[in-house]
A and B are shown apart, each in its own frame.
Chain A
C-alpha cells in the first residue's frame, strides 16, 4: 500500500526547512551598520542611538550591559573578543575601565572633531577615548526615615548609621570605580580604614546601584550611595527621598564625578560608521539630550542647556582624581574588596 504524504506534512516540512535555513543564514554585513557595546542604561542610551539612526540612516546594533555585572562584564567581553572584535564602538558609562581597555590594546586612536570644546581633563591625551556627559556619586536618603541628613560619606562610619546604609557591590560599576579613585587619591591605608569602618558598621552590600536606590525609596533602608541618574529616577516619581551631593564643604575633597566615555575599537569591522557614531555621541546635542532626559546627566560643556535640577560642573566640588591612575588602582582595590571587604 502506498500513498502520497498529506499536504499538511509538506507544509510542516517546508516550515521546518525554511526556519532552519534562516537560522543558518548570516546577517548581511554592510558598511551601513555599526555595532556598539554600551554600559549606559538602555532606557537612556536607546533613544540616543535611535536618533543617530534617524539622522544618518546607519543601522545600529547594540549590546547592552546586565545590571548584575555592569560595565565590568562588557569590558571583559571586549577583551575576550580582542582577537576577533565584533564591536566598533564602546560607549562606557564610566571612565576607568575604558582606560583598562586602552592598556589592553583593545582601542584605536580617534580624536573626534566634535570633542574640540570638551575640557581636556576629560579626554585621553593620546586620543584613545573621550569623555562626555557625567554622573556623580551621591548619597540618597529616605526622608521619612532620616531626620539629620549626612553631608559626607565619612559620616556613614558613625554609630548612628550602623546597619542603616547600603552600597552596590564595589567589584563592579561606578561603585568599584569610586573606591579605586579613593585608593588613588587618599592612598590604600585611608581607604581601607574607611571601608573597614563601614564593614564594622554593618554596611549592606547589594547587587547594583538601582537595587540600593530601590531599598531606600521603598523605606527598607534609610540611606545608600548611588549615582545621580539612579537618584533622579526615583525623585521624578515622587518617592520620599532626598539626594545629597556629598563632601561639598570647604575642608572636604569633593564628590567623585564619572563621565561617560566613548572609544573606537581596534580592528573595528565598521570603522567609518563607528567614527560617525562617536562624532554624534560627542556632540552638544547628545549632552543636552542626556541632561534633559530622565538620567539628568551633567554636561561637560558649560554652553549646553540643562534643566534647573541638573547642576553644572562649576557648581560642584569635585574629587581631583587622575583617571589613568584610578584605573591603575583598580586591581589593588578589587583585591581588597574581594579578600576583605566582601569576605
Chain B
C-alpha cells in the first residue's frame, strides 16, 4: 500500500480494534440510535403531516407557491443577503487569518477565542446594540448633533452589516482550521525561495485556505439564510420569517415544508460544490510555525476586530440600560425564564456533547481527506434544515398519542434544542477527534489498563478542553434559540430568548438591553463554571 506524500503512516493501515475502541463503539451504538430520536422523527413527522393535512404536499402546490412573485422576491432577496454576507465574511476572515499568522501561535489562538466569543453572543445583542448606536435616534447621530439619521439601519444593508459582524468569527474559524491542516514546509519553502506574490497565492495561499473559504462561505450562508432574529429586529421580512409564519400562524406543515424545500436543496448543492476543493487538499497534520516575535501592527488590527464585532454593540446595549435598579427589576420579572434557560441550556449541552462525542467516534476519518469530507459533508443536510422545520416536526410529534407523554416535561424543549444545536457541536467534536491516535492502543497495552482507565486517563485528558468548549458553545446556542422554541415551549416554560423576543415588540429598549446583558451574564457564568470544572479535573494521574 502506497501512501501519499505527507500522509503519516499511522493512517495508511487499519489496525485491529483495541479494547478502548470496542468500548467506544459500544458506547456509540446507543447514541447512534438516538440520532433517530433527535432528527429523523421530527423530519418524518412533518413529512407525514404534510401529506395528511388539509393542504397536501404536491408538485402542483409547490408550483403554486413558487409562482407567487412575493415568495420569489423574498427568496431572491434572502439568497442575495445570505450570499453577500457569506462572501464578505469569508474575505474578511481571510484577512483576519493573514493577521493571525503574523503573531505568536498562542496569541493567535487567544485572538481566535476572542472572535469566537463574539459569535456566541446572542444576535439580539448585536442588533440591539447597533440599533442603539445607529438607529433612528441613535447615540452616534446624537453625538454628532444630527437631528436625523443619514442612513437607516432598518434596511437590507443594515441586515447585511450586522449579519457580517455576527458571522465573521465563524468564517475565521474555518479559514484558520483549513490553514492549520496545511503542511508547514510548503509555507517555509515559499518563504525561503522568495516566491513572487502571484506564485505564492497560487501554490501556497489558495491551497492552504482553499477548503476553509467555501466551508466558511457555506456555513455563514446557511446561518444567514435562516437567520430569524436579526432581520426580525431590523423589520426586514426574509425567508425564515415567511416559513415561521406559514407554520407558526397556520400550523400548515405542507406549506412550510414546501417553502423550506428549495432552499434546503440549494444549500446542499452549494455544499457539495464547496466540498470539491477538498479533493486537492494536501494531507498532513503539521502544526504551522508562527512568527515567534510579537508583531505590533497585526496585534493592533486584531484588537480592532473584536472591538467592532462585539465590544461596540455590547457597549451600545449597556448604554440603553435604565440604571442598575431598572436592570434588576427586569431581571427579577424574568427570573423564571432565566432559570428555565439555564436548566434547558445545561441539559441540552450535556446531551449534545455526550452524544456527539460518541457518535463522532464513528464518523472520525482515518485519513485527513476523509476527516475533511466527513466533517464537512456529513452534517450538511442537517445544517441545511432550518431550526423552525425541526421545531415543526416536534410540534407534530408532541401532538401524537405517544409524543404527548413528553409534553409538559422539561425534555420537550430540550429535545428541540438538542436537534438544532448538535450539528455545529458535532463539527467541533469531530475536529477534536482528529487528534485521535491509534498509538494509544499500544500505550494502553503497555500499561495494561482497562477501558475505563483508557477513557479517564487517556481520552478524557486529551479531549476534555475541547469538550468543555463544545459544552459552552452548545449552551450558548441553546439559550439564544428562538423560532423553534417559540413553537414548542411548554406552558410556563419560556426562555430568556423568548422574553427578549416579546419585549422587542413593546418599544422597551431598556428591558431588552437588561435581558440581553442577563443572557450574556449567564453565558459568562457557565463558561467560568466549565473552566473551573476542567481545572478541577486536571488533578490526578493520566497517561497523556
Q: Chain A residues in contact with chain B, CB under 8 A?
A: 1-3, 5-6, 8-9, 11-12, 16, 19-20, 22-27, 29, 35-37, 41-43, 59-64, 66-70, 72-73, 76-77, 79-81, 83-84, 86-87, 169, 171-172, 206-208, 210-211, 213-215, 217-220, 233-234, 237, 342-343
Given contacts A2-B453, A9-B537, A343-B70, contact A72 B502 (CB under 8 A): no
| Contacts A20-B347, A80-B251 known; 9 new A-B pairs at CB < 8 A | A2-B450, A8-B533, A22-B347, A22-B410, A67-B505, A68-B244, A86-B407, A214-B235, A233-B507
Rounded to whole angstroms, the CA-CA distance of A59 and B408 in the bound complex is 14
Chain B residues lying within 8 Å of A62, measured Cβ to Cβ, are: 491-492
In the complex, are the beta carbons of A234 and B350 less than 8 A apart?
A: no
A-B contacts, 10 of them at CB < 8 A, read: A2-B453, A6-B539, A8-B539, A12-B533, A22-B343, A42-B502, A67-B504, A208-B505, A213-B507, A218-B136
Contacts of A24 in B (CB 8 A): 409-411
Q: Could you tell me if B449 and A66 are in contact, using CB atoms closer than 8 angstroms? A: no
When distances are taken between beta carbons in the complex, the residues of chain A under 8 Å from B351 are 20, 23
Contact call B536/A8, Cβ cutoff below 8 A? yes
Contact B249 A1 (CB under 8 A): no
Measured between alpha carbons, how far is A19 from B404 in the docked complex, in Å? 22
Assuming A64-B502, A69-B248, A86-B407, is B237 touching A207 (CB within 8 A)?
Answer: yes
- Do residues B347 and A23 form an inter-chain contact, with CB atoms below 8 A? yes
Nearest CB on A from B506, distance (A): 6
Q: Are A72 and B453 in contact (CB under 8 A)?
A: no
- What is the chain B residue whose CB lies nearest that of A60? B492
In the A-B complex, the 8 residue pairs with the closest CB atoms: A61-B492, A6-B540, A61-B491, A69-B249, A69-B248, A76-B251, A218-B136, A67-B505
Contact with A along B42-70 (1 / 0, CB 8 A): 00000000000000000000000000111
Q: Does A35 contact B491, Cβ atoms closer than 8 Å?
A: yes
Cα of A19 to Cα of B354 in the assembled complex, Å = 13
Asked if B232 and A8 sit within 8 Å, CB to CB, the answer is no
Contacts of A35 in B (CB 8 A): 491-492
Write out the residue numbers on chain B whose beta carbons fall within 8 Å of the beta carbon of A84.
Answer: 399, 401, 404, 407
- Tell me whether B505 and A210 are in contact (CB under 8 A): yes
Choice from A27, A69, A237, A343 contacting B69 with Cβ under 8 Å: A343
Given contacts A6-B539, A12-B533, A84-B401, contact A23 B414 (CB under 8 A): yes
Cross-chain contact of B232 among A16, A79, A207, A220 (Cβ < 8 A): A207
B438 at the interface (CB under 8 A from A): no
- The residue among A3, A73, A215, A233 with the most chain B CB atoms within 10 A of its own CB is A73
The residues of A that contact B494 with a CB separation of less than 8 Å are 64
B489 CB-CB contact with A under 8 Å: yes
The verdict on B346 contacting chain A, using a C-beta distance below 8 Å, is yes
With both beta carbons as reference points, the residue of chain B lying nearest to A6 in the complex is identified as B540
A333 CA / B490 CA spacing, docked (Å): 32
B193 on the interface (CB 8 Å rule)? no
Q: Cβ of B241 < 8 Å from any Cβ of A?
A: yes
Contact A19 B347 (CB under 8 A): yes
B140 in contact (CB, < 8 A): no
**Residues of chain A with a CB closer than 8 A to B69's CB:** 343
Taking a contact as CB atoms under 8 Å apart, the answer to whether A79 and B507 are in contact is: no
Q: Which residues of A contact B442 (CB under 8 A)?
A: none
Contact A83 B507 (CB under 8 A): no
Does B319 sit at the interface, judged by CB under 8 A? no
When the two chains form their complex, are residues A172 and B241 in contact, meaning their CB atoms are under 8 A apart? no
Given contacts A2-B453, A22-B347, A343-B68, contact A211 B235 (CB under 8 A): yes
The answer on a CB contact under 8 Å between B350 and A20 is: yes
Write out the residue numbers on chain B whose beta carbons fall within 8 Å of the beta carbon of A86. 407-408, 491
B residues 231-276 touching A (CB-CB < 8 Å): 232, 235, 237, 241, 244-245, 248-251
Residues of A within 8 A of B414 (CB): 23
Is residue B139 contacting chain A, with contact meaning CB distance below 8 A? no
A43 is contacted by which of B350, B490, B506 (Cβ under 8 Å)?
B506
- Residues 257-301 of B, flagged 1 when their CB comes within 8 A of A and 0 if not, give 000000000000000000000000000000000000000000000
In the assembled complex, the CB of A330 is this many whole angstroms from the nearest CB of chain B, namely: 12
Q: How far is the CB of B401 from chain A (nearest CB, A)?
A: 7
Q: Which of B137, B448, B456, B502 contacts A5 (CB 8 A)?
A: B456
Q: How far is the CA of A44 from the CA of B248 in the complex (A)?
A: 22
User: Chain A residues near B453 (CB, 8 Å)?
Assistant: 1-3
Q: What residue of chain B has the Cβ atom nearest to residue A78's Cβ?
A: B251
By the criterion CB–CB under 8 Å, are A207 and B241 in contact?
A: yes
Q: How far is the CB of B131 from chain A (nearest CB, A)?
A: 11
Asked if A80 and B136 make an inter-chain contact with CB atoms under 8 angstroms apart, the answer reads no
CA distance A171 to B540 in the complex (A): 63
- Residue contact B346 to A1, C-beta cutoff 8 Å: no
- Measured CB to CB, the nearest residue on chain A to B492 is A61
Q: How far is the CA of A214 from the CA of B350 in the complex (A)?
A: 41
Contact of B152 among A16, A23, A81, A220 (CB under 8 A): A220
- CB-defined contacts of A59 to chain B, threshold 8 Å: 492
Mask: chain B, 488-505; 1 = CB below 8 Å from A; 0 = not = 011111100000011111
Known: A3-B541, A26-B409, A77-B251. A206 touches B506 (CB 8 A): no
A237 and B491 in contact, given A8-B537, A76-B249 (Cβ under 8 angstroms): no
Chain A residues with Cβ below 8 Å from B440 are none
Does B486 interact with chain A (Cβ within 8 Å)? yes
CB under 8 Å from chain A, chain B span 336-359: 343, 346-347, 350-351, 354
Query: Residue on A with the closest CB to B499?
Result: A42
Could you mark each residue 460-501 of chain B with 1 if its beta carbon is under 8 Å from any beta carbon of chain A, else 0? 100000000000000000000000001001111110000001
CA distance A219 to B407 in the complex (A): 45
Q: When A83-B399, A220-B136 are in contact, do A233 and B506 touch as well, CB less than 8 Å?
A: yes
CA distance A43 to B503 in the complex (A): 8
Report the bound CA distance from A48 to B460 in whole Å.
Answer: 51
In angstroms, Cα B69 to Cα A169, docked, is 17
Q: What is the chain B residue whose CB lies nearest that of A36?
A: B491
Alpha-carbon distance between A32 and B541 when the two chains are bound, in angstroms: 53
